[in-house]
Structure 1
Amino acid sequence: MKIGDTVVRKSYNKDITFKIIDVKDVNDKIIYVLKGVNLRIVADADGEDLEEVKEDSFGRAEILFDKKVNDSIRSIINERDNKDVKKKHKSSKQIKITPINNNKSMTFRRPGKILHIDGDAAYLEVCLKVYKQLSIDAVGRVITESEQPDKILSLVKEVKPDIVVATGHDGISKDIEDYIDLNNYRNSKYFVEAVCRLREYEPNYDNLVIYAGACQSCYEAILDAGANYASSPERVLIHCLDPVFVCQKVAYTSINEIVNIQDVVKNTITGYKGIGGLQTRGKCREGYPKSAFIR
């Protein structure tokens, strides 16, 4: 097997589809480093445990993931459209004088801006495509998890986002009893430290909204450090796009409203087992009047 091959692990009942991203010689034994195709997980395995699969014959799990992603995107767009229709209908009842330009809405929205820092370039590329689909202004940077604490603050000062995502890969050691000890996690300590740096800079949870964590991350420690949202409450694997679906809700919720945390979780792929957080004010501002020179 070689780098780039798509494989599953026999010892885990072929539950997750991986790409081989590295090959190592450990004590005269070939070990393959694997990255989840859809899930934010990195794992090691020997060749005997792996079975190659073709990309056009992915398992049922991948098909379900793709369906859930498409369903979530449609649900988000439909929810926004329905909200706009209800708002216009409500306004038309209150206004008794018909404006001259009654065929054009005079208001416009400016959703929150997102800085997405990711330890994985391929995942970031997918996330940025979906941000674009959802009409969100997002800036992406690839930074390995261990370097995020030292670089995240300078990026925030440069980009000046409303919402910051710090994610990548994580994992938990096998057969542990202490789920709060950060030493038992691959990268949780870096997410915690990155959040601490941001909160020292901006303590207000509504001025700067923070999402941090990846697969199986230490949820409690990341929230305690100052994140608004984090993974993973039940130490499950999270989907590549879960941070996107969390932050889009905040970006498009009015600054006059508190984001409903259950609505946030509802539109993620993993659900409440993988994503959670705190009450947070939306980052979308309404403007008036809309420019006549911009469509």
Structure 2
Amino acid sequence: MELTIVNVQINSIVGRMSYHCDLLFRVIDIKMKDGKKIAVLYGEDLRLMADSPFEDLVPIDPDQRSRISEEYRSLEEQSFELFQQDIHLLRQKQEYQATHGYNQEMSIFQIPGRVLHLDGDPNYLKKCLDLYEKVGLTVYGVHCYEKDMPSQVVPLIEKYRPDILVITGHDAYTKSKGLKSDLNAYRHSKYFVKTVREARRKVPHLDQLVIFAGACQSHFESLIHAGANFASSPQRVNIHALDPVYIVAKISYTSFMEQINVWDVLRNTLTGEKGLGGIETKGVLRTGMPYKPITEE
């Protein structure tokens, strides 16, 4: 056991013996509590934050990490394929409508919404930005610690003028701190709620600024009441790191003339309705014609 303690350091990938190493975590801080070393952990695939005594931690080598993560990679690939099918159908529908049932030859162009993504974890932000690029969206990504988000969000909105705002990072519900209805029993939900409220003071209309907010086990009801269009986590379950991207992409590629059915947004996420929810929301995509490539005079 001493070897385990010596080998765990900042950025180590670990599992928790008390949970049979069911999830992978990254050590982001080490602190002392009541004379014992405590590791502060961020989930590698799930947006979960936790504390753990050192004696409960097991270092995970690259081979073990690959095996444990294989299931998540498979789910990510499946979600991406389903999302691509959705986007293909949406584009076909938009092209059909723009050309009056393919009866007129017109070249169209599309302008997806502008996205601002605030993330409390720089590693997750990079993963999300990579996926945004893969699905063809340009996104302004900002790493911002959860507690700083309420003071930073309005200046960032003024700078980037987004159509969609993502507020996420890490969170967790701690039973010993209170009931699930108590906002103070959550790591970062109160900061997410404050950030949503500040954003709504700046842009009150739900369809002028679409907001996704929350992380693992976040206080869903408070986030929705604060003004989020979509949030986590109705059943206080963990959500996957990339779930916000699929929600944002669906909104970005849906016409502003159409209302999005909530289930249509959630069905291709990795977590589904237990971890994610929302309200009816309009898309943000705008279609124009004719398409004229930019050329030098």
TM-score by length of 1: 0.92
Instruction: Kindly report the root-mean-square deviation, in angstroms, between the aligned alpha carbons of the 2 structures.
Output: 1.9
Following TM superposition, by how much is the alpha carbon of 1:93 offset from its aligned partner in structure 2, in angstroms? 7.5
Matched, 1:4 2:11: yes
Match of 2:249 in 1: 248
Secondary structure at 1:58's aligned position in 2?
helix
Following TM superposition, by how much is the alpha carbon of 1:30 offset from its aligned partner in structure 2, in angstroms? 1.4
Following TM superposition, by how much is the alpha carbon of 1:83 offset from its aligned partner in structure 2, in angstroms? 3.5
Matched, 1:135 2:136: yes
- CA-to-partner distance for each residue in 1:215-242, whole Å, 9 max, x for gaps? 1110000100110000000001111111
Match of 1:147 in 2: 148
1:29 alignment partner, one of 25, 36, 57: 36
Distance 2:102 2:267 in 1: 35
- Aligned 8 A contact 1:113 1:138 in 2: yes
Match of 2:5 in 1: none
Distance 2:292 2:83 in 1: 26
- Aligned 8 A contact 1:164 1:208 in 2: yes
Distance 1:92 1:254 in 2: 15
Distance 1:177 1:88, change over 3 A: same
Q: Aligned letter for 2:259?
A: I
- Aligned 8 A contact 1:119 1:142 in 2: yes
- Aligned 8 A contact 1:180 1:221 in 2: no
Matched, 1:121 2:128: no
Secondary structure at 1:139's aligned position in 2?
strand
Distance 1:89 1:167, change over 3 A: closer
1:43 alignment partner, one of 26, 46, 50: 50
- Aligned residues, how many? 288
Match of 1:102 in 2: none
Matched, 1:206 2:213: no
Q: Aligned letter for 2:40?
A: V
Secondary structure at 2:21's aligned position in 1?
coil
Match of 1:173 in 2: 174
Matched, 1:230 2:231: yes
Distance 2:98 2:201 in 1: 42
Match of 2:59 in 1: 52
Distance 1:264 1:136 in 2: 17
Query: Mean alpha-carbon deviation: is it higher for 256-265 or for 168-177?
Result: 168-177
Distance 1:21 1:27 in 2: 20
Match of 2:70 in 1: 63
Which residues of structure 2 form unaligned runs of 5+? 1-7
Distance 1:203 1:49, change over 3 A: same
Distance 1:26 1:76 in 2: 45
TM-score by length of 2: 0.91
Distance 1:107 1:178, change over 3 A: same
Percentage identity across paired residues of the two chains: 39
Following TM superposition, by how much is the alpha carbon of 1:293 offset from its aligned partner in structure 2, in angstroms? 3.9
- Aligned 8 A contact 2:178 2:185 in 1: no
Matched, 1:73 2:80: yes
- Aligned 8 A contact 1:19 1:34 in 2: yes
- Aligned 8 A contact 1:170 1:186 in 2: yes
Secondary structure at 2:158's aligned position in 1?
helix
Following TM superposition, by how much is the alpha carbon of 1:58 offset from its aligned partner in structure 2, in angstroms? 2.6
Following TM superposition, by how much is the alpha carbon of 1:140 offset from its aligned partner in structure 2, in angstroms? 0.5
Which residues of structure 1 form unaligned runs of 5+? 100-104
Distance 2:98 2:197 in 1: 43
Distance 1:282 1:89 in 2: 18
